Amino acid sequence: MSDESQPAELLRRGIASAKAGRKEEAREALLQVVKLDERNEQAWLWLSAVVDSNEEREICLENVLAINPDNGRARAGLEWLRQSSPPPEPSSPEPAPEEDRCPRCGAGVRASSSVCPQCNLPLIVACPACGEYAGVEESACPHCGETLGDFRQGPAYHLGMARRYLEHHAAERAQEALTRVEAEAADDASALAEVGALYEEAGLRSRAIATYERALEVAPHDPTLYAHLGAVYRQHGEPARALTLYQKAEELGSQDPAVTRELARLEMEAGDAQKAVSRLHPLLRKQPIDPHAVLLMGDALQKLGDRDAAVAHYRRAVQLAPGDSDVRRAAQANLAQMGAIPARDAGAAHRPHPGRRPGCVTIYAVLVIVGALLGILGALALGALYASGRQAFQQALLEQSMAGLIDLDQFAPYVQISIGVSLVSGLINLAIGIGLWMLKNWARIAVIVLSTLAFIAGLVQVAATTGLMRGAAGSSGFSGLPLPLLGGLIAGFVVQALIIFWFLVNRDAFD
């Protein structure tokens, strides 16, 4: 903050705090102003309103007159102080500066007023972010820069302030702002509906119900309002009232799937599962991939005793719902309760689901792809090296008159087979790596099969090596494999077994 702007900011803060009745904060800010600028007329005048004693007030007013002898407010205040013996404590001690005007309706307001008496506009507002006060005409907080909005938007301005107060956990201030919206938008059903939603968010359900009911008086044929009010009554523990309101929303032509779902849920809770099934069938024909509706259908079918159909719907809900959702967890819990899946899988929200690649799969896929590319490049390099080396070797044999002694063509098939195997192996591994990256189930199966074969081949190789070493030892005796070799083999087998196990149990991670 520049030296020039600091006194102005402090003065603004001091006046706002004084208007809000926060005398200590106002006094602290205004004292800093006069310390920085001894001839600040407004600072001395406002300071006279927040000091503790009449002697201090007199000093402040004398300083105002020293700066501006024509200041009538200061002169009148000083005369009043000197004539009073003992001076009574005024109910509003500050001598108001010149009369202000409401920025919205233009009515005259006392400088000490915090609300316009004509249009009820708050003249100062608390910043949702820092809590400091600012004039209502400020579009941004002068202290922290938080956006405050444009008061000329009327109810929308107060709604925005209420939302930001709730975001910053200032429930009382949010309630004050919502009360202003109710007063200014008494005939605006949509504004009242937003007020009701914010009351609900703040946990003030009784206020939310009252506001929605007022909105229905304004717009009695709005199905959305009945649905909102039904949701509040349901959360308020009044299912019968909620059912009536949802039915009214449906009568008025609501197309919201949530209304249909809630009606089915309430009917099922009331003991009419068959009615819930009949209600959900049309919805699922229109929206077959709605996991909430599929789960509800499973619940209703289970209540009707149709176990197979219920299990099918629960499995479908698991497939459709995200892995960390309440729907998926509820469906898995129901499947476990019905014995359709192991109980340990009921809380498997931690398991990966299609579309979200686990980190270990990403790492493994990258390693497989990199290994495959290196294998392919190695095979191609071996082919190039063999071709160039063969020509150089033949030339050397000719120079040494030994061309007939060694037939290089007899090695060609072995080299070609080696290159071909390396290329095929590299391409297969590359395909598997890409498949793992794309979460393809065939790649998971390929990893399980190849890893199992490698595990078995490793065991066979260890057995064969052990037999050779025992035979070579002969009568001297065989004390076993060297410890470093044995430790490496065990570590390799453990890693291979873990890979096989992980890909076996995490089927749900792959498409």
Residue 115 pLDDT greater than 60, yes or no: yes
Looking at domain 258-350, its CATH architecture is Alpha Horseshoe (1.25)
Please compute the mean of the pLDDT values over residues 267-283 and round it to a whole number.
Answer: 93
Least confident of 73-82, 146-155, 362-371: 73-82
pLDDT digits (tens, 9 = 90+) for 67-85: 888 877 788 778 877 776 4
Contacts of 249 (CB under 8 A, 6+ apart): 223, 224, 226, 227, 230, 256, 259
Q: Do domains 5-98 and 258-350 have the same CATH topology?
A: yes
Q: In the chain, what is the straight-line distance between the N-terminal and C-terminal CA atoms, in Å?
A: 58
Residue 490 pLDDT greater than 50, yes or no: yes
Contact assessment for residue 161 and residue 148, using Cβ atoms and an 8 Å cutoff:
yes
Neighbours of 287 (CB within 10 A): 13
Instruction: Round the CA-based radius of gyration of the chain to a whole number and report it.
Output: 41
Please compute the mean of the pLDDT values over residues 75-100 and round it to a whole number.
Answer: 58
Q: Mark out the alpha helices in 84-145 (DSSP H runs).
A: none
In this prediction, residue 353 has a pLDDT band, given cuts at 50, 70 and 90, of very low
Contact assessment for residue 61 and residue 78, using Cβ atoms and an 8 Å cutoff:
yes
Alpha carbon 214 to its chain's center = 33
Assign domain 5-98 one CATH number from 1.20.58.220, 3.10.105.10, 1.10.10.10, 1.25.40.10.
1.25.40.10
pTM of the model: 0.52
Residue 511: per-residue pLDDT: 62
Residue 191: per-residue pLDDT: 93
Buried b (16+ CB within 10 A) or exposed e, 434-466: ebbbebbeebbbbbbeebeeebeeeeeebeeee
Contacts 24+ apart (CB under 8 A), 127-135: 128/161, 128/164, 128/165, 128/167, 128/168, 128/170, 128/173, 129/164, 129/168, 131/170, 132/13, 132/16, 133/13, 133/16, 133/17, 133/19, 133/20, 133/22, 134/12, 134/16, 135/12, 135/16
Structure tokens at 109: 């307001």
Please compute the mean of the pLDDT values over residues 430-449 and round it to a whole number.
Answer: 87
Could you tell me the residue ranges of all domains in the chain?
5-98, 258-350, 359-393+417-470+483-509
Residue 94: per-residue pLDDT: 44
Please compute the mean of the pLDDT values over residues 474-503 and round it to a whole number.
Answer: 74
